[in-house]
Structure formats: structure tokens, C-alpha cells
Structure 1
């Protein structure tokens, strides 16, 4: 994915992508931009097609890669779920088990729970359990935030 692809995005699509990169859900994006959830989904479908992404995690990572930030931010530093005025991310990487780090790396690479399970030769239920533990340790509420955290913390491939 190269930078010129972003030029194909409309201003509204760039706004949606910025908010997605900040870790917001479709519902929160819709509220922030004063549009419907369905309109957000339509914008995301168009964005995925234009940048060659297959899901929101890839799109969020792409947005970070090309330097898109939430309006008003100077640079894409820490994920949006980080706390504090400087957005310090608690470095939970060391608190994660080796298996959790492996699951997080694969999640950040864009793999589904099913593919993570196959790759690690564990059940999907075990993957879900690891993800729940990871989310709790890093303060994420969903996989996109976890993938962004992994990238920020240097755990992403």
C-alpha cells in the first residue's frame, strides 16, 4: 500500500479513516461525524476497495502508515485508547505471556481468530480467551485497538 492511494479518498473518507485509525467503532465514528452507521459502513467499504484492505484492522494500520491522524493531532503517536495528556501507553508488552504476544502479533498482521488458531495449532476458543486477556492487560476494547497497540509497542510484524 503506497501513499498515492490516499489521494483517491474523498475528504469524508479521510475523516472516517482518521477516526478508524484512532480506534473508534463505527457507531462512534458516526456520532463524531454526525452521519448514520450505515453511511460509515458504506464509506469503509469504499475505503477498503480504494486502499486494497480487506478489513478495518488493515485500514487502520494503513492510515497510521501514511500518517493520518485524528483532526487536531500533530502526529500519530499513541493509540487513541491510551491515557494521560501525553497519551502514554502502559507498556503491557512485558506483562503479556509469550503466547499472548504471539496471538497479538498475528492479530496485528490481520489474521482472523480462525487463522490465528490454525497457525498456532490451538482452538478458536483459546484464541478468544487470549484476546480477552490481552485486551484487559493493554486497555483495548476491540481488535483494532489491540492491533494499533501492537504496532505502537513494536509487537506488530
Structure 2
């Protein structure tokens, strides 16, 4: 009896390893970069309670359903990442628009800090090399 249980458990373990390898291959297809592979692999292996119970069945139908759900989770994660990327691009565009709108004027540090949700000190630290360079150019320029 104990031998039968060990054999059954080893089959389940091998089944899980095969499933994990298939999810890994799917993650490689989904990922655009090497860093994203582990993210998609993790998302693909987040199994629900039903899927964990289905792992006890070693049939092809249960495996296909688990893989189908893993693909759905990966697609959802891909959409979430795309939305995050769009938001970042939109924020950069807003900041560029704000700066280009003030071509004739100096950008007010407080407005820029409020728009970018950072402190005024952080903006001044980032702008310091540029400000020093501009002052030196004005000092040494021949008019």
C-alpha cells in the first residue's frame, strides 16, 4: 500500500514538473525581455484552488485547462504592464508639454514640482548641472 502511494505521489510530482515546464515555455513566448520571463512564469503558476485539485488528475483535459487559465493570467498581466507603460509615457508627455508651453518664460519650479509629484529640492538638484553650464556659457560668451 505504501509503495502504491509513493508511486502515485511521484506521478503527481512528475505531472507538476511537466506542467511547470510548459508554463515556462509559455512565459518565454509572452515575455519581451529576459526580466519579464520570471514575472510571466510566476503569474502563470499562480494556481487557483480548483486548479490545485485538478493537479491530482493526471489527464490531458485537466492539464489543458490549467494551461489555458495560465495563458489567460499572462494576457491579463501583459495588459496591466501595457497600461502602466502608457501612464508613464503620458506623464512624460505632460511634463514636456508644460516645459514647451513656457518657452519664453522660465519654468516655475513649484509648478513643475506639483505637476511631477516630486519635491522642489529634487528638481533643483536635477537642474543644477544645467544651470551651472548656462551661467558659464553666458560668462564666457562674446557678444
Normalised to the residue count of structure 1, the TM-score between the two structures is 0.20
Higher radius of gyration, 1 or 2: 2
Structure 2 length normalisation: TM-score? 0.21
